[in-house]
Amino acid sequence: MQRRQLLLYGAAGAGVLGLTLFVGWWRVDGPGAPEPKGQRPLPLSAMEFRLTDHEENEVGPGNLIGRPTMVFFGFTYCPDVCPTTLSDISGWLEELGDEASEMNVVFITVDPERDTVEAMAEYVGYFHPVIRGWTGPEDQIARAAEGFRASYERVPTEGGDYTMNHTASVFLFDAKGELVTMIDYHEPREFAVPKIRRALTEDVEGAT
């Protein structure tokens, strides 16, 4: 009898612990979590930064207003997330066909020390031709990241080298420069492409 009671108490305790953990997840990381204050990207019209594209043109947020826009932060020495995401983006653009030319698609480096204009030009050349590479001074990269509410940090590695941690989502804006949504890292094409078409559709509806 005593052993049976212990087992029952143990099961009940495990159930309470599981419920507590679930409630904690729901409030902190799950659907019940509060929206992070100030984490929504600013409208493009409210951002202020000046960078240089891979063809040595001076660019900024104003260049992105007027057409739907996708923006992704990364760096050319990135071992997996960046080439994977840019390959995904290239696939989405291929599926859009002629509509792809109606979009701005920008890859902004978080590693301007190594990602020169020449390095960016070579790197984006491996992907869809619509994709543009933007680089510039560290302070301007920081201002761009702040506007998009993207984060990045330099992480030392062995041998005195370093890598970069950074936001891996793709930011999607409509032609007016307002955020439409974000596309998560490795989001399936059947979910990502409709989001992009939504931005294109909002562009058309806004013009009518």
N-to-C CA span, the chain: 77
pLDDT-based confidence at 203, cuts 50/70/90? low
**For residue range 129-171, what is the model confidence (pLDDT) as tens digits?**
999 999 999 999 999 999 999 999 999 999 899 999 999 999 9
Residue 193: CA count within 13 A, CB half-sphere: 14
List residues forming the annotated binding site.
78, 82, 166
Query: What distance in Å separates the CA atoms of residue 193 and residue 157, rounded to the nearest whole number?
Result: 36
pLDDT of residue 39: 82
**For residue range 176-186, what is the model confidence (pLDDT) as tens digits?**
999 999 999 98
**For residue range 74-86, what is the model confidence (pLDDT) as tens digits?**
999 999 999 999 9
Bridge-based pairing state of the strands 58-59 and 51-53: antiparallel
pLDDT at 1 over 70: no
**For 22-26, 44-48, 104-108, which range has the lowest pLDDT when averaged over its residues?**
22-26
Query: What distance in Å separates the CA atoms of residue 80 and residue 207, rounded to the nearest whole number?
Result: 39
pLDDT of residue 6: 40
pLDDT at 29 over 50: no
List residues forming the annotated binding site for Cu cation.
78, 82, 166
Percent of the chain surpassing pLDDT 70: 79
- pTM of this structure: 0.79
